[in-house]
Each structure stands twice: as structure tokens, then as C-alpha cells.
Structure 1
């Protein structure tokens, strides 16, 4: 490859020029910037690409003719764009979000999602739903583009106020005129999702009674809605997962009597069967025209595996995947006939990029890198690892090693993921790569409670928040030290969200392992966190609260165990440097969680560093503040745990 040839040439030149000097460290901005290309969506007929790119804090939408030049586009400014969706060949639905307090709506700031239409022909953008009487200009589900009588239509789940109470309502927008009307009036206060068939008809509703923790499924037959199933689901709604194999049945992920996840396929009359075989269970893939279930994908070990029911579709994907060898390849979008496919390929040596695969011409064209400046010189090697926790449970994870250094007695950063029911994957991780570029080994453990390793592994995390979920991390440190890969006296812990909590717990609950801790948007006082959630739900216990308490092992807000696993309540135990970083607009883990931690440390006479990210949310959606987070965090660990 050209990149490899250039690298080899440079190395030969350095050898001829005299003694080699230490290579300069890559600029942190190549890791901390927003992705240069955030998303690529191919149009239904396969002739155009919608590409969302970024430059600093600016996001730019470009529509290109495949094999030609730019057709249209616009600078979206600093808008937080969450996704784009084609609605026919000439319109793009742009889904964005904004952190705001809405007048008349009770509670603190929330993240509200909105949708607008970008007309490719005119190059103009206009918001949808803003002219509907009694409606908020927000959506609560993903847009559902349909073609009805040859016309592109967008079905949107919006919020309409009825008797001063918000009610999820289905709207229909004709894209050619942007004319919008209410599509179905049957929504109830508890409705939390719809399914609309290929003809544009609403045929199923998911409802959830938050107070009682009960889920309901309704279908529409003969013009009338009727309930066909219900279940007690205290951890949240089952929701809807699209249409089944015939494009008409209804799919729902639900749990059986042993709490195992199953994919149930309902007919409209309520009869059903469970799809135990033939579909991978991480995510589902549907035909964009018929909406029928095609298959799914999951991470099997370190392999991202796509499985399809239809042999022809499986052969198509295998043909797309084959040229990329050992790269981690994921489907970004494909044309309706599935002959043109956009993929993201994460190279283990050169970083991630987007490609357009044309199965008719048998070409794979490089569209661009996900991160400009990331190449073979700035990507550190990543190993898959496994080790045993103290109680014998096998933990897997990933170890990123600093490029060009002997893997012996290295300084280490433990970087636990969020969730806690998330997981790390072998795909390119900008945060761990940035740390490795500074000379650190980086451990990303999939501790108990992480998804993707079976239900028993998730259940092993129940009640272990701050306990075995925490020692799973330090058990990984001890295993690496035993092998001589890391120096156990030079270890820090850093993370965001639950990972931020784990960093604080490493400073308070699992002492003696770490030299410093960096918490980005980490919960610190669990009782306050749960009380805030209850306040948002009018004093009622929500499914989110029940979910947190299952992992925390708490019976309620007054459970004394919450104090023992809350770092803010244990601040007097801290004897290592701590850095807190938090976005002011975080609506998932509120900014006050870091304020509480800082105040508790000051009362205990402990020094603390606190960095506020103005205008930033939980997901580090802005370029400048994302880079600020990374720069501040790395400067902190370099000071307290020098990599050399």
C-alpha cells in the first residue's frame, strides 16, 4: 500500500542520514477532534452520497454524485447532528439535538431531538413539526421514511399537548411540499413507540406504564387498535424492534422466565413464535423497501459477524467483506438493491476509514479517513486479552501498547467503559490511542455486567457496582504486572460516565492500586443521582432508577449501602490526586455530581482539580471541548504518572 511504502521510505532515509532521533509524539488534536467524517449515507437508488464531515466545531453536509462532483450541501455550524436519513432520492432528514429548558415543561435541562428536511435540489433546510398546533418541535423516535403512491413521506413521532399533558403523536410529512398532518390519533399517554408498515399505515404500538412497570403491545386490525400482549418489565419498556421475516409480523426483544433475552415474532392477532436460531442478537437489519427482517450482526469474540437468512444477501455481504481481510468492517449504509455498499473499515495499523463498494464494477473506493491525520505512524497496536478475576470469573478486554516501546514495565492507564452495561470493542478508540501516543499502556476491561458475553455475565454485575465490578479492573492491573508488561507502581485510572465513577471508586473504594484518577462526567453521590431521577418523574420510581439500583444492589434511596459505594461520601479516604471534568449541559449524569465530589473533597481537606466544559453534553459532542477534555486529562496523568 502507498502508506506502507511511504513509511518504509522515510525509515530508510532516516537510517542513511545518521542516528535516529526519537519520533515526535503525534498531535493530540488528531485524536481529540470530532471525526473528520462522521457519517456516510447512500441514497436509495444508489447514485448519491450524503457525507457529514467536521472541521473544528463546524459540521458540513455534502451531497455528492457517485462518480461525479458535489451536487449540494451546507454548513450546519455547531449544530449537534445525530444522524441523517434519506427520504426518497431528493430529501435528507437531519436529526439533531439541543440541550434546553422548555418553558412550561417541568424539570431541569433536557436533551431534545429535532428533525429538519434538507432539499437536495434547492440546497435549503427547514425544520419539521414547527407549524403543528399544540405540538413541540421535537421527535421522540427515529424518523420513518416511506414511499406512498410514489411520493416520499416521513412518518415522525412527535409530542402534542392534550389537556396540558404531552402525548406522543404520529405525524406525516409529504417531503415535496413539507406539508404535515397528524397521521394517527390513537396515541395514549403511555405510548412509547410505533411501527408503520411499508404502505405508511400504523400497525403496532408499544406502551409502557412507568409507575407500574408494565409493558403493553397493541396492533391495528380492521381500523381498530387492540391489545395483544402485556408483561411486567420493571427495568423498562420492551419497545418495538421492527418487522419480522415477512415484513408484516412484529418483532420485540423481551425476556423469558430466566431473564434471558429472546426475539419474539408476533402476528397481528397475537400468536407468536420465538426466533431462537438464524439471527445474531446484537442488532437487526431490515430491508429498506419491504421492511422485512434480513438478519443481524453481533460481535463474536473480536469478529463482527453479520448473518442473513437469505443466501443471496449473505453472499453479497461476504463479497463486500472479503477484500478487507482482518479489518473490523461494519455496514454504514447500502442502496435499496444492495449493489452499492458503504462500509467503515477499521484497520489495525492505519486507523478507520469509509469505503464505497460497488459490486457491479467490483471496486472498493476510499471515501476518506474517519480521523484526518491518523495513519500508520499514529496508531498503536491493540491486543485482545483475558484474565481471571479474584473469584475466578474470566474477564476479557483490550490492551493498547505504546508504539515502538518494549512491552515491559510500562506505565498504565486503566480506562473502563460506561454503561455500566456497555462494552469495549476492537474497533479504533480515539481515547485509548491518544493515551498510548503519550507512552502509556491502556487497559480497557469488559468487567462483569458488560454486554455481549451472555446474560449470566450481565447478571454477575448485579449488586456489584463499586464492588466486584471495581475489583475486576484492579485484577487486570495485577495480571499485567504479574506478566511484567506494566509497572504496578505507575498506574492511573480514567473514564467517563460509569467509567468516571470507577475512576473515583479507584481513589476511594479500591485503594492502593492507582497513583491518580480522572473522572469525566462520573456519578459521585448515588443517592443524589437517584433522587434527581425520581424528581424528573414526579416523585415516582422510574425504570431507569430500578435499573441503576439493580446494579447498585440497593433497595431504595435510603439504603445505607449507597453511601458506602458513593465516592463523595468516602472522600476522606482519598490519598491520590483527582481530576474532575464535566460538561455543563450534561443531562445524563448532571453537572452537580462533580460539584458534589469537589465540595466533599474540599471539606475533607483533599486537593482537587475541576475542569468545566461549557456547553458540552454527556457525549462530548463538540470539538473544542472534546479536545480540551483530552488535553487536560493527559496533562494531569503526565504530571502525576510520567510516562518516561
Structure 2
């Protein structure tokens, strides 16, 4: 493991660090001023990195440190799957614990998250998906792993119903926590109306803390472990009801009971209680964009604004380890960032910025005393890795690269840029430029709408990481936050949801990229393909059907292609109110590519996951059947791939690599990255075998 000390530390930062840490912990990190430089990295990597290398499971990710800083828990790629691993930081011995991927075989389980409880137990949330009376149902359970005895301990499984996996409060010192769970001890009719029990992590035994309430489907606890609020959302009428118990009182009272017919409002639920008061931090967009507020829970009145980002939605808050204080905020301005409100974390971030460069290092996690921190160093310019930072000595120790094969290889430059849609609306897009062709004009382009669709895609995106592998092959990749995307306030979402938005004006935003970036000379609009997954798959197929003259090809994965069919499925599985989530359209048939397969289409690659629990496989089957009926020829006009072991989230290397390699092959067939008239010769492909 590499170690080095911070190389650049201003007097102001050193003084701030010393004052802050000595005041809080009685320790002055004298050696934080040491001048040993960080490891030097190469400025460039010759040749093209194969597309598969960018989508393989990381060797280290989602890192969490134990409260006493003696161990790490993280997920690591093992034989194409994710594995939950514990690392002893003294011996550097790894202990594999649990396969972490989404379930796809009978008997598999999905691990959705994990956390430390005390210093010797990692508690994982595992999900099994079952067919219950003809409908899919997820059963959630907790399993604790004792890293000393290497035993697994079921947590409060006795009499547990469908969901027994929501942790509300943790007492690390006692090794106990509050668990919200359904119970079938007396009747299965209580499913969906949970109780709260206190669980001993070392044994899995539990005691009742809060009994079920006929109008509560979720509970919230404060930092003292007191249940303070309960919620219920009606899937048919959309009403959201909130009950609250005031500080020092015994009974709950209804403080909110309303529906948002627009589906763009953010309900002011308590994110973090302020100890000893009826105040809580909440996030709401009631005045246009999501901001962090202090709110009186008894009156539901906003008291003051605690944090805001002008023109953009705040993405979330970061609580202290004991859930008693606000230590940071997740922000967005085209790039996701962490802004620290805690003075100790602010000081550490300043040191990181001075050592590695602005926005190149991020605090991932920290020990209870703050003196040991997990840092990710990477950013938009280079592949990154995880470091352990000891504040007492000022030393950084490299733990592992997130992708060992790439190490700290340079990435293709990514920028969040604005363009103007044809109706004058300002749209932000994440643009990835091929590093081997910087400065070259009239390049081939892939327009890649993100999934959701009512989400925000960031320049630091990791959920749809296909910009880097395709830019590496020579394409400009443009991922627009088209109207309806989150992050830009509720009015921006609303203009995507209104009639004429979904499948029409939202689609125009994608087309307008070709015009705007073509004018700049950055891309050649006649060398364009459209590609996406989930909603992006819908938009890709819609583009191939509606605007075939614009696109050399289309690549659609896990998309919705028949909107009326999808709305019926949502109504059955999500409730009548929720069935309108996919689109607000006066013409659902007209915006459905599967219902409009006659006429010209751009050549389209269609990929579906047989085990997709969100978008039924019948969507792709319907599209393909109708393409055949309309005379389209397989292998020429379309290609259809069924991923037998695939799910909606591409969690395994085999299906993820197949997706990106098939996509690249389709692009090369219809819109090759390099042609004879290009000025830059095609770089050779690197061998990673």
C-alpha cells in the first residue's frame, strides 16, 4: 500500500486544522504539515482503452469505515459479481462476506445496502423477489455478520412479514438499533403497517418499541431513538398523510394530509430532527427549487432557510454519525458535490483541495472521532482510487483503485454545458469529449438521454457510465438533462410532464442538440446516433421511429415502447395514482414507438432483460413483433438481444459488458467513429488481457 503525506498546506489551513481538531478532540495533528509529495501519475495513456474495461465491477466501492477506524466494509468485483468485503486495516486481510449483486437465479438475494453497527458487526439488507398471488413482491431482511466469529446472525426474523429491513436509529456503543418491520405475529393483514423493535445486533433478539398504527406505513426516529413521525401515502388518490409526536408528548397528531396532483412538489418530511426541539431539517421546493429548511413540525411552518443553491435543487443532507447534527449537503449544478457545514470536515476538504486540486478529492466516510477518513481521489479528469487519511500523522495511504486495470488513467474530459432548445428553453447537458481528438471539429456524436426521466444526470455520473467508454473510442457523447429532468426546480420538471412534453417536446430537446452543437462545429449532425437505457431506451426508440432522418442508428435498452400497456401495468402494480408517473400525454398511442412501426425507421438495436422487474419484457417483445409485422428485417433494420440473466440495473459484468460491446458494434456498423476524411488517425486498441 502506498503512503504519502500532504504536499501543499497553507498556513491558514494548517492553523484552521490545528484549532479545529485540538478544540474538538484534544489532538493537534502536528505532522499534517509534512512535505512529501503525492505520487506522480502519467499525463496520458496511449491507445484506446476497450469499452468493457469501463463497465466491469469496481475493485473497491461504497466504502464505509468502522466507528473505531480499525476496519473497512466495501463492495469489490469478484469474478464478474459484486462481493461485500471487510478489510482489517491492521493486518490488511480481506474477509469476503456476501455476494452483493441483484438477484437473478432462483435462491439468489439482492444486497441493497449495508452499515456498521458497533465495531464488529456489518449489517446487510438482503432482498428476495417472489411471486405473491401473481404479483411480484420484495421481501426485505437484515443479516448481521460478526467479523470476529465470522458468523451470520439473522436480525429479528421471527414473525417478520414482507419488509423487515429499515433501520431508524443506531446506538453503536450498546450495539443496538431500531428496526422498522412488518409483523405477522397476529395477522397477515398488518403487512404494510409496520412496528418498530429494538434489536441486539450480536444476537438478533428484539423488543417492541412502537406498535403498528392503522394509518402509518413508515416511521421516523430522532437522534435519541424516540419515534417522532409516521407517514402514509395512498397509491390511489395520492394523498400523503403525516403524523407527528411533539417533543415530550405521548400522542401523535396529523400535521399534513394532502395530494400533489402535479407530481412535482416535494413533501416537507423531517430529514433530521434537532435534539430537544420540535424543529427538523427538511427539503422542500415550495418556492421553486429544493432547499434545506428548518421547519417546526408541530405547525408545519418553515422557520428559516438552512441551505440553498441558486437555481438548482439541493440533492440531500448529510447527518452526523449519531444523527444529531447537519454536517453537509449534497448539491447539484450540473455536477454533484458535497458541501460541508461541519467545520472539521470543511478544513479537511480545504486540505484535500490544496493537495490534489479543486474537486479532485472527496471525503467518503470518517471514524467517530473524525481522525481517520476515507478519501476518494479522482474526479472528472482521471480514474480514481480510495485512500485512508490519518489526520494525526498527515499521511495518506492508497487502499485500492476503484478499477485496478485502469488505475489512475486519464479520462475523457467531461463538462456540464448549456444549449438553447428550439423553443428558447435553456437545457444543460453533460458533454464528454474524446481525449484522442481534442480540438478536432465535426466529430461523430452519440446523444444519450438518461433514465428516469425525472432525475438529474451529473458530470460525475456513475449510474449510466457509458459516456467514457464511447468517448474513448472517438465519439462526442452528449447526455442532456432535457426538460422534465430533476435538479432545476419544479417548473422545469412540470414542462416535461405537461401534455406535449413526454415523447414530443422532450424528444425535440434531443434533436436540438444536433442543431446547436452542429453550429459550433463540434459535431457533424449527419454522423449522429441516439442511445439510452430505461427512459433513455424509450427515447432512443422514439427517435428511431419519429425522426429517422436525424439518426444514423438507435440503441434502446430496457425501454417502454407501448405507453398504454405500461400504464396498465403500473396501475396494477403501483396503484391508480402512480400509473400516471410515466407520462402525461393526450396521445399515449402516438408517443408509443411500438404502435407506430410502419414507415421508415433508423436502424435500431433493442436489448431487453428477461428478469427486469421494472419494465416487463413484453414491452420489447411487442416492439419487435410489430417491427416484423411492418416488414422490418432482423439483422438489417433491427437487432434484438434478450439478456436471459439480465435485470433492469445491469448488475453483473456479463450483461453489462454485452450491453456496451453490442452497442459499440452497432455504432461502428452504422456510424463509425473514424472515417477516411477524419484528420486524426484512429488510435490502436490497448490489450488488457
Q: TM-score, length-normalised on structure 2?
A: 0.82
Aligned partners of 2:379, 2:41: CA distance in 1, in Å?
A: 16
Q: Which position in structure 2 is the counterpart of 1:373?
A: 405
Correspondence 1:7-156 to 2 at 5 A: 24-70=47-93, 72-74=95-97, 76=99, 80-101=110-131, 105-130=132-157, 132-133=158-159, 135-136=161-162, 138-139=163-164, 141=166, 143-147=167-171, 150-156=173-179
- Bigger shift: 441-450 or 237-246? 237-246
Match of 1:566 in 2: 592
Taking the aligned partners of 1:2 and 1:311, their CA distance within structure 2 comes to: 25
Distance 1:348 1:316, change over 3 A: closer
1:423–1:268 CA distance, 2 compared to 1 (3 A): closer
Q: Deviations over 1:36-58 (max 9, x none)?
A: 21211011222321122112333
Q: 1:599 to 1:118 in 2, by over 3 A?
A: same
Q: Is the alpha carbon distance of 1:169 and 1:402 closer, same or farther for their aligned partners in structure 2, counting shifts above 3 Å?
A: same
Aligned pair in 2 of structure 1 residues 593, 343: CA closer, same or farther (>3 Å)? Answer: farther
Q: Does 1:594 align with 2:611?
A: no
Task: Measure, in 2, the Cα distance between the counterparts of 1:596 and 1:274.
Answer: 52
Aligned to 2:649: 619
Shift in alpha-carbon separation, 1:247–1:89, aligned structure 2, 3 A? farther
- Mapped to 1, the partners of 2:378 and 2:600 lie a distance apart of 40
- What SS does structure 2 have at the residue aligned with 1:343? strand
Offset at 1:478? Answer: 1.7
Measured against aligned partners, the alpha-carbon deviations of 1:110-165 in whole angstroms (never above 9, x if no partner) come to 454432111111122233343x22623x4464x234118x4112322222343545
Structure 2 CA distance for partners of 1:616 and 1:503, relative to 1, 3 Å: same
Counterpart selection for 2:307 from 254, 278, 287: 278
| SS state at 1:458 partner | helix
Q: Write the deviation string for residues 157-180 of structure 1: whole angstroms up to 9, x where unpaired.
A: 222343545133323321121113
Matched, 1:341 2:381: no
Q: Does residue 504 of structure 2 align to residue 455 of structure 1?
A: no
Q: In the alignment, what sits opposite 2:481?
A: 446
Q: Point out the more displaced range, 294-303 or 574-583.
A: 294-303
Structure 1 residue aligned with 2:396: 364
User: Paired residue for 2:541?
Assistant: 504
- Aligned equivalents of 2:471 and 2:94: distance in 1? 40
2:588 match: secondary structure: helix
Instruction: Give the Cα–Cα distance (whole angstroms) in 1 for the partners of residues 525 and 291 of structure 2.
Output: 43
CA distance 1:364–1:67, shift in 2 (3 Å): same
CA distance in 2, matches of 1:377, 1:64: 25
Deviations 1:564-600 (A, max 9, x none): 1111111213422111112122122222111111112
Determine helix, strand or coil for the equivalent of 1:351. Answer: coil
Q: CA deviation at 1:325?
A: 1.3
Q: Does residue 169 in structure 1 map to residue 195 in structure 2?
A: yes
Please say if residues 146 and 199 of structure 1, whose CA atoms lie closer than 8 Å, have aligned partners that are also in contact.
no
Residue matched to 1:541:
576
Which shifted more, 65-74 or 81-90? 65-74
Contact 1:320/1:357 (<8 A) preserved: no
- Map 1:130-279 → 2, pairs under 5 A: 130=157, 132-133=158-159, 135-136=161-162, 138-139=163-164, 141=166, 143-147=167-171, 150-161=173-184, 162-164=187-189, 166-167=191-192, 168-188=194-214, 190-221=215-246, 222-234=249-261, 235=263, 238=267, 240-246=269-275, 249-256=279-286, 261=290, 263=292, 265-267=294-296, 269-270=298-299, 272-278=301-307
Within 2, Cα distance between the matches of 1:411 and 1:84?
A: 42
SS in 2 for 1:34: coil
Q: Partners in 2 of 1:434 and 1:476 — Cα distance? A: 21
Quick one: which of 557, 560, 569 aligns to 1:520? 557
Contact 1:416 1:445 (C-alpha < 8 Å) held by counterparts = yes
1:479 to 512, 516, 523: 516
Contact 2:363 2:376 in 1 (8 A): yes
In 1, are the aligned partners of 2:272 and 2:323 still within 8 Å (CA)? no
Q: Indicate if the aligned counterparts of 2:553 and 2:604 stay in contact, CA closer than 8 A.
A: yes
Change in CA separation of 1:2 and 1:402 when aligned onto 2, cut-off 3 Å: farther
Closer/same/farther in 2, CA of residues 133 and 111 from structure 1, 3 Å limit: closer
CA RMSD, aligned part only? 2.8
Q: Cα gap change, 1:355/1:400 in structure 2, threshold over 3 Å: closer, same or farther?
A: same
Distance 1:28 1:175 in 2: 43
Question: Residues 321 and 241 from structure 1, CA distance in 2 versus in 1: closer, same or farther, beyond 3 angstroms?
Answer: farther
Corresponding residue number in structure 1 for 2:584: 553
Contact kept? 1:263, 1:274, Cα under 8 Å: no
Aligned ranges 1:311-322 → 2 under 5 Å = 311-322=343-354
> How far apart in 2 are the matches of 1:343 and 1:113?
31
* Offset of residue 2 of structure 1: 8.7
SS in 2 for 1:564: coil
Between 268-277 and 499-508, the greater mean CA deviation after superposition: 268-277
1:592-633 Cα deviation digits (max 9, x unpaired)? 111111112111112332111223221111221111111111
- Cα 1:456–1:77, aligned 2, differ >3 Å: closer, same or farther? closer
Give a deviation string over 1:509-568, Cα, whole Å, max 9, x none.
23321011111111111111110011125xx513x32333xxx333xxxx5x00111111
> Structure 2: how far apart are the matches of 1:332 and 1:632?
34
In structure 2, C-alpha distance between the alignment counterparts of 1:436 and 1:417, rounded to whole Å: 16
The 1:367–1:124 alpha-carbon spacing in structure 2 relative to 1, beyond 3 Å, is same
Change (3 A) 1:376 1:346: closer
Corresponding residue number in structure 1 for 2:502: 465
Distance in 2 separating the partners of 1:77 and 1:474: 39
Query: How has the CA–CA distance of structure 1 residues 31 and 112 changed in structure 2, closer, same or farther, with 3 Å as cutoff?
Result: farther
Query: What is the total number of aligned residue pairs between the two structures?
Result: 610
Alignment gaps of 5+ in structure 2: 1-36, 102-108, 675-689
* SS state at 2:199 partner: strand
Distance across 1 between alignment mates of 2:271 and 2:650? 30
The CA deviation at 1:368 is 1.7
How far apart, CA to CA, are the structure 2 residues paired with 1:35 and 1:110? 29
SS of the counterpart of 1:467? helix
Other structure's SS at 1:338 match: coil
